[in-house]
Amino acid sequence: MASLRTKKWWKSAVVYQIYPASFCDSNGDGIGDIPGIVSKLDYIQSLGADVIWLSPMYDSPQVDMGYDISNYEDVYAPYGTLVDMDTLVREAHARGIRVMLDLVINHTSDQHRWFHESRSSKDSEKRDWYIWRPAQHDPVTGERRPPNNWRSFFGNGSAWAWDETTQEYYLHLFSAEQPDLNWENESARKAIYASAMTFWLERGVDGFRVDVVNTYSKPPGLPDAPVADPDQPYQSPAALVFNGPRMHEFLKEINSQILTPHNAITVGELSMTPDPEHVRRYVSAAAKELDMVFQFDVVMVGHTLFGPLSDGPVRNFTLPEFKRAVKATQTLITGNDAWTTVFLENHDQARSVSRFGNDSPEYRVASARLLALLQACLSGTQYIYQGQEIGLVNAAKETYPLDNYLDIVSKRVIEGVQAAHANNSPGVREKALDHAFDVLQYTARDHSRIPVPWDGTGLYGGFSEAAGLSGLPISEPWMKPHPLAGEINVASQIDDPESVLSFWKRIQALRRAHLDLLVYSDFRALQEDDFDIMMFVKDPVESDDKVLVVLNFSTKEVAVQAPTAKDLGFTDMVPVQFELLASTHEKDATVHDVYAPLEGRVYVVKA
């Protein structure tokens, strides 16, 4: 097994994700920018980060916060310029930090020049660079209909938009302003590689997080999707458009032609792929496609935002379900040459303390430390999202009104509820909207996009502190500041040894000091059905020692029994010794003990 677990720098790396609009504003216009990121590189370095991953900073109309790109080779003006990006790459490299960009190549913006040319005429040379189809017509009424019954992933409408100029439909799996590229066209693929990838690799970028990496290959003939909801005219195309017939061919082409020659790293956003054998086809080292992928088993536990909203409780999962999801992502690499990732937050997820811990004032720090300890002890490349390292939580419903939610998904959730209850009484409609608000407060993407609070004593949480120090006028941030910015911010934690930030730094340093025990080891779950305690063993491939991790996810004291030698994977009845390696509560204690609420401990186990 050890021969399969090849060690690479990026496998033990810490990747820090930055959402440019919300990270740091250098000029006071209320929008985060590239110079703001440069100003915080020393801070990022202090976290032990090896890589920064920037969410899209390309030129864009910002319909979907930059995931609708109008020019791959330029920067969204409020964020800065190409010169600013060159400075960021240079300054990051000077600190030993690599730079990863978001690669969005399933679709472009409808404002991209390629799409302008494509829609200009059916005879355009770029017509086939996107996916166009003629209309269908109702056999009785003659009414025009889309080419198939596919539903957009953004809302309940059709995934096809009608173009008056050329009298055909174009496909958009996401927003209508995000037309899908036609990967069957070789000329389009070559243009994508040159503009979206080679252009940036030659400017010094080190790799890519690849957006919706398994949607490029559409099924031949674009057949109707299975009817899951007979009451709806359009159906989810997920079963058809994820992991299409040429997906692996396309990724091998990208790897051989672009990535390998530039020694670039990749992590793919891999949705709707529950079969681990299929996941391994993407991340097997021998396959030469992707270095690693994001699986969403963990962050989608109890997630209802992207499907029909039920009337049940908002937090609708148990700890055993969470543990099974963690196990699925961890055991992906057992006994093979694949690799995995570790993450609990990103720009598409609400804050992990609110979702998987307890964000009440009494428990939010303990929850943040517990989750930090969990992440540090899991195998795979570590991903941390901005603000996670200070334990940011979701904005409370009472202090952050619905008008503050700006994400396209949040807006369409509300629009969908309003449409569904348009004919109901005001009371019923109000109740449904209030429940939708509860769901958004728990799972909306908006929470991760609230500007980072750098200093709780500064204006707007110090988001534009550099501009203020320079005497520049400061505008209100593009998104309302976090209502807890005065309590949860970087400045108040940076010199506090008991803070979440200090704990994150310590625990990541510990992980780095024990790579064989924590990063390259195999995961084995214990007590999988326990509703309070998460317990697992890490089996290193190059050591006789093991690691035991015990985490109390409840808000009550829980008595824990030490696992037996057999449970730990040793010979039955052999005496074992437990040496405390780390603890959220910074105390020396035996395994067989009463654990405080949200307490976690890590032991090295020797036989």
Q: Which residues are catalytic?
A: 211, 269
How many Cβ atoms are within 10 Å of 469's Cβ, its own excluded?
9
The distance of Cα 64 from the centroid of its chain, to the nearest Å, equals: 15
Q: How far is CA 409 from CA 33, 57, 156, 172, 402, in A?
A: 24, 20, 11, 15, 13
Residue 491 token pair: 């400045």
Q: How far is CA 556 from CA 467, 533, 560, 578, 595, in A?
A: 45, 11, 12, 24, 8
Burial of 275 per CB tally in 10 Å (0-12, 13-18, 19+) = exposed
Dihedral pair phi/psi, residue 193, rounded to 5°: -60, -45
Q: Whose structure tokens read 């302008």?
A: 116
Distance CA 334, CA 521 (A): 9
Say which residues have a Cβ less than 8 Å from residue 286's Cβ, sequence separation at least 6: 337
Distance CA 200, CA 280 (A): 28
Residue 68 token pair: 């609708």
Q: Give me the helices (H) in 40-99, please.
A: 41-46, 82-94
How many Cβ atoms are within 10 Å of 71's Cβ, its own excluded?
16
Specify the amino acid at residue 2.
A
- Do 176 and 109 contact (CB within 8 A), yes or no? no
Specify the amino acid at residue 171.
L
Q: Using alpha carbons only, how large is the chain's radius of gyration in Å? A: 25
Do you know the residue count of the chain? 607
Distance CA 88, CA 573 (A): 57
